[in-house]
């Protein structure tokens, strides 16, 4: 295979990999929105239990055009389940995106090496790495520390104020432990040194 074909294949792979990252970033942002909605319902359930249950039942009825009234216990378990699943998927997607960016950096270096020009493609390697603005640092802090800590705090507040049956409390507590474990493992993974 001639060198030009190798470069074309490598560049096509680079474009495909970058496209996959963009898709995963969109998925991550949707997951974040759903997480914020579930966290909002968690807060509402703590402070406005009956109103939040009524609002949730109304939303479900309008969305699926079926009248089904969740009771407080089922609603609580559902919220804990959604919080766990969404946080797990969000953290997993975020780690995957981060890992893919490292791979994109490697591809950029290989492309530059093949072309023979050090700065031929530097979108990711230099653009984001050299951006040390206060805003970028703030966003990084929010996504990698504040949001995970907020998630644990919401879960802790919610579990400490539970006022439901012992069986529901046991299930909710299991989800609470799973959420805390997932969040701590995420923090460890996202902040480990390469």
pLDDT computed for residue 173 by the predictor: 94
pLDDT computed for residue 38 by the predictor: 92
pLDDT computed for residue 76 by the predictor: 87
pLDDT computed for residue 130 by the predictor: 56
Please give the average pLDDT of every successive group of 10 residues along the chain, which has 194 residues.
Answer: 82 89 93 92 82 82 80 87 96 91 85 77 58 79 90 91 84 95 95 72
DSSP string covering 79-103, please?
HHHHHHHHHHHHHHHHHHHHHHHHH
pLDDT computed for residue 84 by the predictor: 97
Q: Residue ranges per domain, the chain? A: 3-191
How big is the CA angle at 181 (ends 192 and 31), to the nearest 5 degrees? 85
Q: What is the C-alpha separation between 75 and 49, in angstroms, rounded?
A: 10
Distances (CA, A) of 20 to 27, 92, 104, 140: 11, 15, 11, 21
């Amino acid at each position: 295979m001639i060198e030009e074909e190798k470069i074309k294949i490598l560049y096509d792979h680079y474009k495909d990999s970058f496209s996959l990252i963009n898709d995963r970033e969109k998925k991550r942002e949707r997951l974040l929105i759903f997480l914020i909605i579930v966290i909002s319902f968690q807060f509402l359930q703590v402070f406005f239990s009956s109103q939040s249950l009524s609002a949730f039942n109304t939303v479900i009825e309008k969305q699926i055009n079926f009248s089904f009234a969740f009771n407080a216990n089922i609603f609580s378990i559902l919220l804990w389940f959604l919080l766990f699943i969404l946080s797990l998927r969000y953290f997993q997607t975020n780690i995957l995106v981060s890992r893919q960016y490292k791979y994109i950096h490697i591809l950029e270096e290989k492309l530059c090496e093949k072309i023979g020009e050090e700065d031929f493609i530097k979108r990711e390697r230099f653009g984001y790495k050299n951006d040390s603005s206060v805003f970028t640092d703030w966003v990084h802090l929010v996504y990698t520390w504040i949001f995970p800590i907020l998630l644990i705090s919401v879960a802790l507040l919610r579990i400490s104020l539970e006022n439901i049956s012992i069986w529901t409390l046991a299930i909710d507590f299991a989800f609470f432990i799973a959420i805390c474990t997932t969040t701590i493992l995420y923090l460890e993974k996202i902040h480990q040194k390469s």
